[in-house]
Amino acid sequence: MTKSVLIEKISEKVGSLTRKQTEIVVETVFDTMKEALSTGDKIEIRGFGNFRLKNRRPRIARNPKTGEKVEVPGKRVLHFKAGKGLREAMNTK
């Protein structure tokens, strides 16, 4: 599902918001989530799941083409853990 399809579905379901108003709401939610994650906060949406950043340590990897060792710097990666409600919904169909 793309963001535009999500906006369209929400707009249809709510009914009282225009597509443009729904787009603003969805963009605001995503921007707020990005801000929270970038500052190190964890996002917990009950019944859906948790978003948080994990730190990956720097490591030595191997270039599969040449076999040469390559240094991979450490970085933060997004981790999502599905909540109970989402897991159950995924396994009922």
How far is residue 69's CA from residue 49's CA, in Å, rounded to a whole number?
37
In the chain, where the domains are located: 1-40, 42-93
Would you say the C-alpha torsion 61, 38, 4, 9 has a positive or negative sign? positive
pLDDT tens track for 4-29: 999 999 999 998 889 999 999 999 99
pLDDT tens track for 48-89: 999 999 999 999 999 999 999 999 999 999 999 999 999 999
How far is residue 6's CA from residue 90's CA, in Å, rounded to a whole number?
18
What dotted CATH number matches 42-93?
4.10.520.10
How far is residue 82's CA from residue 84's CA, in Å, rounded to a whole number?
7
